[in-house]
Amino acid sequence: MNRIIFALDVYDYNEALSLSRELSNDVFAIKVNWPLVMNNGISIVKEISRYSNVICDFKIADIDNTNRLITEKARENNAWGIITHSFTGRRSLKAVVSAAGDMKVFSLVSMSQESFIDNYTDDLVKMSMEENVYGLVAPGNRIDILRHIRSMSGDLKIIAPGIGAQGGGITDAIMAGADYVIIGRSIYSDPEPLKKVKSLNEILGDD
Ligand code: BMP
């Protein structure tokens, strides 16, 4: 089982496609964020989906109708999953879940940056579970918070950023309860990205 979600935070079309082709067999999914989509349009999601599961990290944070419109665009372009904020409340989250159809919805309940305000994290986890999301985004480098979120979130899949460039350790995050780790710079800034992914998979005991 692959447990790496590759954060493809590059601008360039050719680089994005060539990294996707190169790494697709050795990662669980490719996470696409605004920088790539702003430069290339949403159709890049469909192109990358030819090689890998794609998670649209759009961190949706709007009223219900706008959330629905954004989610539908990701779905139209074959995204496998979508990331939404949940601090905007139940009505906004419901709109994403309902527009997502078969797409997996990941609700962000805390962040890897220590300046994130965690006062409402427990409420966000509870609400996300009640609204039947598929998974949560929780920090892989803030281990106590990750462990706490794991303890509250039953069978939900946890995907955890903050590994490598942001200081988190890959095995620490998995041991604290992450199902998948999100890794960007440590892979795409490496001179040999595929070799790097394979070595991380070896650390995790995955092939
Ligand atoms: P990197 O491994 O290069 O630090 O990339 C982490 C990725 O995860 C980035 O795409 C970032 O936007 C995302 N992310 C994060 O770093 N912290 C969070 O709390 C939530 C995120 O989505």
Find out whether 123 is annotated in a ligand binding site: no
- Return the pLDDT at 207: 55
- Return the pLDDT at 1: 79
Structure tokens at 103: 């797409």
Cβ(183) – ligand 1 distance below 6 Å: yes
Interface TM-score (ipTM) > 0.95: yes
Predicted confidence (pLDDT) per residue in 144-186, tens digit: 999 999 999 999 999 999 999 999 999 999 999 999 999 999 9
CA distance 172 to 6: 18
- Expressed in angstroms and rounded, the spacing between residue 57 Cα and the centre of ligand 1 is 9
In this predicted structure, the answer to whether residue 117 has a pLDDT above a threshold of 60 is: yes
Query: Mean pLDDT throughout 109-122?
Result: 97
Cβ(47) – ligand 1 distance below 6 Å: no
- Residue 9 in contact with residue 36, Cβ under 8 Å? yes
Structure tokens at 51: 């090689």
Query: Mean pLDDT throughout 34-50?
Result: 98
Q: Phi and psi (nearest 5°) for 183?
A: -135, 125
- Indicate the top mutation candidate among 121, 182, 189 to test ligand 1's pocket, ranked by most ligand atoms within 8 A of CB: 182
Structure tokens at 107: 């609700």
Cβ(9) – ligand 1 distance below 6 Å: yes
- Return the pLDDT at 111: 98
Would you tell me how many other CB atoms lie within 10 Å of the CB of residue 11? 11
Q: What is the CA radius of gyration of the chain?
A: 16
Predicted confidence (pLDDT) per residue in 13-32, tens digit: 999 999 999 999 999 999 99
* Atom 14 of ligand 1, nearest CA residue: 161
Q: Phi and psi (nearest 5°) for 114?
A: -65, -15
In this predicted structure, the answer to whether residue 70 has a pLDDT above a threshold of 70 is: yes
Structure tokens at 44: 């890049």
Residue 102: CB partners within 8 Å, gap ≥ 6?
A: none
pTM of model > 0.80: yes
